[in-house]
Amino acid sequence: MQHFPTDYTSILQRIDAVDPVRYGKTRNYINGAVSYLSPYISRGVISTRQVYEAFVAKGYSLYQMEKWVSELAWRDYFQQVWKHQGKGIFTDLKQPQPDVQFHHLPAALANANTGIDAIDEGLQQLQETGYMHNHLRMYTASIICNIGRCHWSQPAEWLYYHLLDGDLASNHCSWQWVAGSFSSKKYLCNQENINKYTGSSQRHSYLDTSYDLLPDMHVPATLQTAANIMLQTVLPAMAPVQIDASLPTLLYNSYNLDPQRRSQQPANRILLLEPSHFAQYPVSEKVLQFILDLSKNIPGIQVFTGELHDLYQIHNLSATAHSFYSKEHPAFTHYPGQKDARDWLAPQVQGYFPSFFNYWKKVSRHL
Ligand SMILES: Cc1cc2nc3c(=O)[nH]c(=O)nc-3n(C[C@H](O)[C@H](O)[C@H](O)COP(=O)(O)OP(=O)(O)OC[C@H]3O[C@@H](n4cnc5c(N)ncnc54)[C@H](O)[C@@H]3O)c2cc1C
């Protein structure tokens, strides 16, 4: 069962343990040599650039590690989509999702009861560990959206809630990619394919059929019922923090927990947990604990539960006169002060690209 340590030394060791060549050959199998780095990349503890440079330093050429680096680029790609489409990522991006019958959270998803054994096992493990392999995420989204004919939005919120690596851009855009609202066609999978990559041997399920029959299949009864679940985040109680008004204040959040950022600068360091953010995008208790544990790598960090204006008010800070520093991020455009750039794989390549492959073509020229 996957375990995700939160101390910085173990995280750096995890980067070092990746074998990019074996990764390229086995990543689609659920027991393949995947990196388990996404919870740290999506929480901004480490960056795609930092990971890439670690492998350049080991002597790998882009040719040798192309699959590995192109997967890292998917992260930057979806972040660029978010940066440039803003709230557009929360609605169908390119075209309406085809053939939708339901706009709900299917009980089969929430109860790990889709009837496909490998998926149900993956969903149970997700609730225990906060992680799910990429191929299982694709299969799950395909079963829910393309066989269950459910709109992607509520299932995506549910998955985001449980993932340690929850990233609204990677998550929502990937659901849309599978469901056909951010791709040219829906992604479909049958039982044979699932058995091959998960090592299962299930037969006679509703997916045990050929690809040409999948698009017109009636929605199986097990996928039709809605769950009755309220997703909410339980934040720590608000407590005052110590602020030295003569020093600048560095703001951190659930997507920016980089212990190296401005590490030599004397500053107040505040992990800001804004209730308004978590009310809109709830996360589970496990995810919140993971975020709090990761923040402990930042020397002197203090946790403030409250809105930015509460922080100003309680500590007599002026949004204009006090120096604030944060990292640029589409979820936190309302922060005051200076926004440091993120460490993209190719900082020169900015903008909305309707397809990953156009983005990757440009990025790879700069690597
Ligand atoms: C329906 C669905 C929902 C998803 N939701 C999220 C999410 O909320 N947060 C998230 O980080 N990823 C999400 N992904 C992408 C992907 O599944 C995870 O990034 C990956 O499984 C993480 O495990 P890993 O680090 O072991 O991956 P590896 O295969 O080792 O990949 C290495 C790194 O490349 C990046 N990466 C790989 N595949 C993708 C991808 N498809 N999209 C974006 N980045 C990628 C990640 O940063 C990852 O850490 C989702 C995919 C699907 C299909």
What would the pLDDT profile of 140-173 be if each residue is shown by its tens digit? 999 999 999 999 999 999 999 999 999 999 999 9
Q: In what order do the strands lie in the sheet with 324-327?
A: 301-305, 268-273, 249-252, 324-327, 338-340
pLDDT at 321: 82
> Which tokens go with 77?
């790609």
CA of 125 to the centre of ligand 1 (A): 16
Ligand 1 contacts CB of residue 43 (under 6 A): no
Ligand 1 contacts CB of residue 38 (under 6 A): yes
The answer to whether 272 and 315 are in contact (CB under 8 A) is no
Residue nearest to atom 34 of ligand 1 (CA): 72
Read off the pLDDT band of 281 (50, 70, 90).
Answer: very high
20 membership: H or E segment, kind and range = helix 20-26
Q: How is 159-181 classified by DSSP, letter by letter? A: HHHH-TT--HHHHHHHHHHHHTS
CA of 103 to the centre of ligand 1 (A): 25
pLDDT at 124: 98
Ligand 1 contacts CB of residue 162 (under 6 A): no
Ligand 1 contacts CB of residue 158 (under 6 A): no
pLDDT at 161: 98
Does pLDDT of 243 surpass 90? yes
Read off the pLDDT band of 179 (50, 70, 90).
Answer: very high
Say which residue the tokens 């939005």 belong to.
Answer: 153
Q: Is 216 left (phi over 0), alpha (psi -120 to 50) or beta?
A: alpha
CA of 178 to the centre of ligand 1 (A): 14
In percent, how much of the chain has pLDDT > 90?
95
Ligand 1 contacts CB of residue 37 (under 6 A): yes
Q: How far apart are CA 96 and CA 91, in angstroms?
A: 9
Q: Please enumerate in sequence order all residues whose Cβ is within 8 A of that of 246, keeping only pairs 6 or more positions apart, or say none.
A: none
Residue nearest to atom 47 of ligand 1 (CA): 38
Report the residue among 34, 165, 172, 345 best suited for mutation to probe ligand 1: largest number of ligand atoms under 8 A from its CB: 165
Q: What is the dihedral angle through the alpha carbons of 75, 80, 81, 86, rounded to the nearest 10 degrees? A: 120
CA of 170 to the centre of ligand 1 (A): 7
Average pLDDT over residues 327-333: 97
Read off the pLDDT band of 295 (50, 70, 90).
Answer: very high
Does pLDDT of 5 surpass 90? yes
Q: How far apart are CA 160 and CA 152, in angstroms?
A: 12
Atom of ligand 1 nearest to the CA of 35: 30
Q: How far apart are CA 24 and CA 69, in angstroms?
A: 10
Q: What DSSP character marks residue 153?
A: H
Read off the pLDDT band of 322 (50, 70, 90).
Answer: confident
Read off the pLDDT band of 240 (50, 70, 90).
Answer: confident
CA of 228 to the centre of ligand 1 (A): 28
The answer to whether 272 and 302 are in contact (CB under 8 A) is no
The answer to whether 101 and 145 are in contact (CB under 8 A) is no
Ligand 1 contacts CB of residue 283 (under 6 A): no
Q: Please enumerate in sequence order all residues whose Cβ is within 8 A of that of 52, keeping only pairs 6 or more positions apart, or say none.
A: 69, 72, 345, 367
Read off the pLDDT band of 239 (50, 70, 90).
Answer: confident
> Which tokens go with 238?
């608000």
> Which tokens go with 212?
């040409």
pLDDT at 117: 98
Q: What is the pLDDT of residues 109-138, one digit of tens each?
A: 999 999 999 999 999 999 999 999 999 999
213 membership: H or E segment, kind and range = none
Average pLDDT over residues 52-59: 98
**Nearest one of 344, 350, 139, 167 to 254, comparing CA atoms:** 167
Q: How is 58-72 classified by DSSP, letter by letter? A: TT--TTTTHHHHHHH
Phi–psi pair at 99, nearest 5 degrees: 60, 40
Q: How far apart are CA 207 and CA 116, in angstroms?
A: 8
Residue nearest to atom 49 of ligand 1 (CA): 38
Atom of ligand 1 nearest to the CA of 132: 21
Beta bridge partners of 253: 256
Read off the pLDDT band of 361 (50, 70, 90).
Answer: very high
Ligand 1 contacts CB of residue 71 (under 6 A): yes
Average pLDDT over residues 265-274: 98
pLDDT at 215: 94
pTM above 0.85, yes or no: yes
Average pLDDT over residues 6-31: 97
Does pLDDT of 1 surpass 80? no
E strand segments, the chain: 249-252, 268-273, 301-305, 324-327, 338-340
> Which tokens go with 239?
């407590």
CA of 198 to the centre of ligand 1 (A): 17
Does pLDDT of 195 surpass 90? yes
- Whole-angstrom CA distances from 88 to 160, 172, 352 are 17, 10, 12
Residue nearest to atom 33 of ligand 1 (CA): 72
Ligand 1 contacts CB of residue 187 (under 6 A): no
- Whole-angstrom CA distances from 74 to 60, 80, 189, 227, 291 are 20, 10, 21, 31, 23
Read off the pLDDT band of 317 (50, 70, 90).
Answer: confident
CA of 16 to the centre of ligand 1 (A): 18
Does pLDDT of 319 surpass 90? no
pLDDT at 315: 87
